[in-house]
Amino acid sequence: MKKRDVLTLRDLARADLDEVLSLAAALKRERAEGHLRPLLAGKKLALVFQKPSLRTRATFDIGMTELGGSALFLGPDEVQLGERETPADCVRVLSRLVDILAVRTFAQDIVAEMAAFGSVPVINALSDLYHPCQVLADLLTLQECKGALEGLHVVFVGDGNNVVHSWLLAAEKLPFRFTLACPEGFEPDREIFDSAVAAGAEVAVTHDPAAAVSGADAIYTDVWASMGQEAEAGDRERAFAAFQVNGELVARAGDDVAVMHCLPAHRGQEITDEVIEGRHSVVFDQAENRLHAQKALMVWCLAAGT
């Protein structure tokens, strides 16, 4: 069987997404009852990270440990991917040593190159273009707090970034509506958006956040300047000033709206303290769900080889 890489959510068919989300929910329930299933006993995970991380690193490492395996973290200083070592050489070495890789990098091409040259599954742990693991955990969170994804309207207020691109791909497969409200010039990648439309996804882009959130089931936001865009932070702060998720904006949505943020948050910029600490916020459920979703994802990736 072909090895199962997850470079984007396109690598999972609808049935695979359902399988991963339902295993994630089961693993979460069992863990709460004090039971950990050693589904990946003896397996080894390498984390090759070129950008900082709290949630992704911690949840992959703890997740693999809870599944009975072990994890090795290789940060930017050790590997110096593309400087000390090519991505292709790095992955060919690690393929001899571990069973699965999670890679956090800049260009999507780097994670694609590692998947192409590696003989073990490669998971995209965030690139400039996509953040599939985040959106998997977010889907699990929405299932938990809304009961089902069917018919939900998710409104993302902010930048048309890597998290948005993964939402667009999720909307290609799953029956929810997705709207991005962003300033002009910060729309998502045209090709990714057009492909979602062509696949029949109910997706839209608007520049009016107040109108967009009316009736929303979830309001989602993320930092205005992603990792790698630090030099643009000042300009972006000005461009996004009218796109803050604050009490006034949240009040325009339904009373049971869920407020979501992938974290880390810049409180006072894209989201206010009041909202992130408020009764609508599910941000820490999202963070915890990274663990359960990635455990299920690693099991799915390695199922092909067992």
Q: Give me the residues that bind ligand NVA (CB under 6 A), please.
A: 126, 131, 161-163, 222-223, 226-227, 262
Of 162 and 289, which CB lies nearer to ligand NVA in the complex structure? Answer: 162
Of 53 and 95, which CB lies nearer to ligand CP in the complex structure? Answer: 53
Q: Of 54, 97, 211, 251, which lies in the binding site for ligand CP, with binding defined by CB under 6 A?
A: 54
Applying CB under 6 A, does 134 fall inside the site for ligand CP?
yes
Known catalytic residue at 143: no
Known catalytic residue at 294: no
**Residue nearest ligand NVA, Cβ-based:** 226
Distances (CA, A) of 150 to 133, 139, 142, 206: 20, 11, 10, 22
Of 112 and 262, which CB lies nearer to ligand CP in the complex structure? Answer: 262
Of the ranges 19-27, 177-185, 189-197, 257-265, which one interacts with ligand CP (CB under 6 A)? 257-265
| Phi, psi for residue 243 in degrees, rounded to 5 | -115, 30
Candidates 4, 55, 57, 104; catalytic one? 104
Minimum CB separation of residue 139 from ligand NVA in Å reads 16
Known catalytic residue at 236: no
Of 126 and 154, which CB lies nearer to ligand NVA in the complex structure? Answer: 126
Q: Which residues pair with 45 in a beta bridge?
A: 71, 100
Q: Of 55, 146, 153, 292, which lies in the binding site for ligand CP, with binding defined by CB under 6 A?
A: 55
Candidates 90, 182, 262, 301; catalytic one? 262
Q: Pick what 54 binds: ligand CP, ligand NVA, none; C-beta below 5 to 8 Å, kind-dependent.
A: ligand CP
Known catalytic residue at 57: no
Its sign, for the CA torsion 258, 264, 269, 270, is negative
Q: Going edge to edge, which strands form the sheet with 177-181?
A: 202-206, 177-181, 153-157, 218-221, 258-261
d(CA 220, CA 253): 12
Q: Of 8, 50, 53, 221, which lies in the binding site for ligand CP, with binding defined by CB under 6 A?
A: 53
Q: Pick what 179 binds: ligand NVA, ligand CP, none; C-beta below 5 to 8 Å, kind-dependent.
A: none
Candidates 261, 290, 292, 294; catalytic one? 290
Quick one: CA torsion of 173, 175, 180, 186, rounded to 10 degrees?
10
Of 166 and 179, which CB lies nearer to ligand NVA in the complex structure? Answer: 166
Query: What one-character-per-residue DSSP string does 39-69 give?
Result: TTTT-EEEEEESS--SHHHHHHHHHHHHTT-
Burial of residue 245 (number of CB atoms within 10 Å: 0-12, 13-18, 19+):
buried
Biggest CA-to-CA distance, the chain: 54
CB 271, CB 240: distance < 8 Å: no
d(CA 170, CA 164): 10
> Residue 105's CB: how many other CB atoms inside 10 A?
24
Minimum CB separation of residue 228 from ligand NVA in Å reads 7
Known catalytic residue at 35: no
Angle between helices 14-32 and 162-173 (to 10 degrees): 110
d(CA 125, CA 102): 6
Known catalytic residue at 262: yes
Q: Pick what 280 binds: ligand NVA, ligand CP, none; C-beta below 5 to 8 Å, kind-dependent.
A: none
Chain contacts with ligand CP (rule: CB under 6 A): 53-56, 126, 134, 262-264
Q: Which residues are catalytic?
A: 104, 131, 134, 222, 262, 290
